[in-house]
Amino acid sequence: MAKTKVYKNWSLHEDENKILWVALNVANEEVNVLNFAVLQELETIVADIKANPNNTSGVVFISDKAPDFIVGADVKEIAAVNDVNDAVSHMRKTQTLFSQIEALPIPVVAAINGFCLGGGTELALACHYRLASDEKHTQIGLPEVKIGIHPGFGGSVRAIRLLGVFQGIGLVLEGRNVDALQAKKLGLVDDVMPLRELRRAAVYYIQHKPKVKKNSWMNKVTEIPFVRNLLGALFKKKLATKVKSEQYPAPYALIDNWVNVGTLEEKAFAAEAESVGTLLSTPTCRNLLRVFFLQGKLKATGKEADFKVRHIHIVGAGVMGGDIAAWCAVHGLRVTLQDPSLQALGSAVSRTYELAKKRLKKKHLIQAAVDRLCPDPSGDGIAHAELILEAAVENLALKHEIFKQIDARARPDAIFATNTSSLRLADIASVLTQPQRLVGIHFFNPVAYMPLVEVVKGKHTDKTTIAYAAAFVKQIKKLPLPVEDAPGFLVNQIIGGYFAEGFKALAAGESIQVIDAAGHCLGLPMGPLELADQVGLDVCLAVSKNLIGDDAKTAQAVLQGKVDKGELGRKTQKGFYNYVKGKRVRAKTALDPEKLTVLERQFFLGMLNRALLCLDEAVVNSVDLVDAGVVFGAGFPPFQGGILQYARTMDKQNLAKELACYRSMNVQAVEATSAWKLLW
């Protein structure tokens, strides 16, 4: 006879085959997280199973909170832990619990559907078998490095034991998620099947007890101490090409753990726990946790709006318009793309195919995405779309012409949007009969890699339009940042300070290589001139007049000279750099450390000054939103927590003097007194 027992977060159901189904549905949470209360209840459940193993033929861990399995530990609780000893104690206690699950004398299955991340994957690794549904939302991974730590519930040890050091340590170091089929290929799960077959497969594994994968001879060889030392050095060398140990210590700590103690003995778990406890107190971890919560704050924007776009019409098939169209098509929207150039439309279709290949993998899904993009030279899609987005060049007269046509042809409930980088919405909206329908939806280049989209409120934009625009941004898996209408909005205004200092240095005779190297020293993914080439020098020229101002006449002259020669950057294979098949030709140049330090500081002050001005002028309403903007929209190094968070780590008086000196030499720099108070 079937039996059921219910806890606050777990429910137990024993079926007629004496299989115990242990289902998680965390109370008062949108997703399943392994918080302290959940783990405490699990301790009781496991103790009961251990006490009566003959009463149960097997255990299956499942989720009762669709569509996810377990998304990890509770990050809020992790962030609240300030004592290293407390952190280590919690890790060790959870490791012991998971080891008890692993040691159960009956088969234990993790039946995974949806996101299985961090602590969820660590629990699954402690089970004897892992089965996954082939649903597209099933993702499995150990992403802890993204918040400045590594797995602490035994996950790094078990991943390396199961997958071998090359696959296992790689999975943890990269912090990447894999889908069900990739997980099967890696050996992370035992089998993959349709969701409707998941429970039946779990029963089969419990009743037939297939052989559990054993450690291969290769795994045993790589556990020999001198082999670990050699491989550890190679892992670190490769890692150093991506991140520095002083900026991101967690992946280096993980390698050290493996080199020092391996994974075969109990001391490996102790080393893992102690390492996580230490990492939790580092500035990198604290800042990455801050960035994690900032991301959550952006994800919550527009949450209340009941609005979904089925059809978007985009005007302009250039680099930005074409890439936005591709992104929307890959994310399930019907897209009509308008442009007088058939060549531009053809290029956009090709880019959609390439993006779909990378993102969707399966042939039928790729073809479906391409089919959703419809070239529309005459703009017939305007009359049918819920959202119409203009992505033409930064020319007010042209935008006026486009919006007059949109206004005359659009359905009465359609949202009007512009992807302008620098023009004021109030100026664009002046030709509309209902200016309240216009909102800025500003993407960043390259669209496929930049997660942030600014949602810009114009002088007349109503609240519903803003909420709907934010909901659309979330629908296509981007992060909406609400900003007020101002030249350059938030991110481009701050990046304008970066460009201004880069162009000043160029005008003063500094080499392109030194200028861009100084940007990398600050932790930014691109130097200012690299970034200008990526954006397009014609776009930079148009935008710079609004963003950089009177103190950048020389920079504008340089840009004008490049544009006149047709050297527009990466898209024409020549700009500040030369490109071959889209790849930059790199020249080796000796770099003076002193020059780099001076330039790096100038870049920081230029960006900080603009950030404070944006805050002072209420372009956004909080320090958090400024930092979210620069991290997710400008690539400011996450390990610093944002530009204003970085400034907070400095001596207040010295920084004030530096800023005063910087402002005295810059026409555009104005003291932002209110923002300074908010910062400190």
As a whole number of angstroms, the longest Cα–Cα distance in the chain is: 85
- Angle formed at CA 419 by CA 414 and CA 422, multiple of 5 degrees: 135
Q: Choosing from 16, 122, 594, 600, which is the catalytic residue?
A: 122
Q: What's the full length of the chain, in residues?
A: 680
Distance of CA 272 to the CA centre of its chain: 26
Classify the C-alpha dihedral 138-143-146-148 as positive or negative.
positive
CA-nearest of 376, 266, 240, 253 to 321 is: 376
Separation between Cα atoms, residue 486 and residue 325, nearest integer Å? 26
The CA–CA distances, whole Å, from 518 to 524, 592, 593, 629, 640 equal 9, 10, 9, 21, 17
Number of CB atoms found within 10 A of residue 340's CB: 10
Distance of CA 293 to the CA centre of its chain: 12
- Residue 122 annotated as catalytic: yes
Separation between Cα atoms, residue 121 and residue 143, nearest integer Å? 10
Residue 498, C-beta contacts closer than 8 angstroms, at least 6 positions apart:
519, 524, 528, 531, 603, 606, 607, 634
Strand partners, 453: 480
Q: Kindly give the pairing relationship between strand 438-442 and strand 415-418.
A: parallel
3-state SS class at 14: strand
Separation between Cα atoms, residue 263 and residue 169, nearest integer Å? 11
Helices (H), 429-570: 463-475, 491-507, 512-521, 528-535, 537-547, 553-564
Please report, to the nearest 10 degrees, the dihedral formed by the alpha carbons of residues 279, 280, 281, 287 taken in order.
100
Q: Choosing from 29, 41, 43, 144, which is the catalytic residue?
A: 144
Asked if residues 615 and 623 have their Cβ atoms less than 8 Å apart, the reply is yes
- Residue 386 annotated as catalytic: no
Asked if residues 435 and 460 have their Cβ atoms less than 8 Å apart, the reply is yes
Classify the C-alpha dihedral 28-29-30-34 as positive or negative.
negative
Asked if residues 649 and 283 have their Cβ atoms less than 8 Å apart, the reply is yes
DSSP letter at 525 equals S
Which amino acids are annotated catalytic? 122, 144
